[in-house]
Amino acid sequence: MRDAMVSDSAHAGRMDRMYRTQRHIYDATRKYYLFGRDTLIEELGAASGARVLEVGCGTGRNLALIAKRYPRAKLYGLDISAEMLISAEKALADSNAILKTADATDFDARAFGVEGFDHVVISYALSMIPDWEKAVETALDTLAPGGALHIADFGQQEGLPPIARRILTAWLTRFHVMPRAHLMSIVAAKAHARGMITETRSIGRGYAWLITCRRT
């Protein structure tokens, strides 16, 4: 039986209610607007034996691609929605992935049987996590020496026409998604406080932001 480590039961309940049916069409619909995920995976650079955790792994789509791209990596995933993990378990049935129902703001690497992760991936999850700053801190603190945190999420669409921004914002609100205006600066500050180096870039005229924090 899959272990559960959830401290925010209210948020877990909301996510389960939303994804109980959506999980069946999630990947088919999200591929049209969750840009940058494949770029993150291609640039991950996971070495043989590297421990790769995805926070908010959802249906397992990203972990399945990571398994294909880096077949010798050791994969781990967590999501607060037990419903989403039903799909993830099916998608990753032929992999070595270890999955847990867990809160992104309150988990420990040792719960997965490791002391730390070489790569932590957070793809389009921070914009849905109420206490997203705590989730960033938790992810940073689970990195092993030399490890890296990789984030892909919505930017502020700074290069897009105002009407495009309004339409996107209205659409995302329907799914409890809130792009974080200060994502880059806050992540960089938290990484700097831990002696880490941060790289950031914007893609699609600010549609999405990619962030990498490396522990030295």
pLDDT value of residue 29? 46
pLDDT tens-place string over residues 32-61? 457 899 999 999 999 999 999 999 999 999
Decide if pLDDT at 28 tops 80.
no
Amino acid at 202: S
User: Can you tell me the mean pLDDT for 204-212?
Assistant: 95
For residues 77-101, average pLDDT: 94
214 Cβ neighbours under 8 A, 6+ residues apart: 146, 147, 148, 196, 197, 198, 199
**Closest residue by Cα to residue 54 from 78, 27, 89:** 78
CA distances from 108 to 32, 37, 182 (A): 33, 24, 26
Q: Report the largest interatomic distance among the alpha carbons of the chain, rounded to a whole angstrom.
A: 48
pTM comes to 0.86
Contact between 16 and 83 under an 8 Å Cβ cutoff? The reply is yes
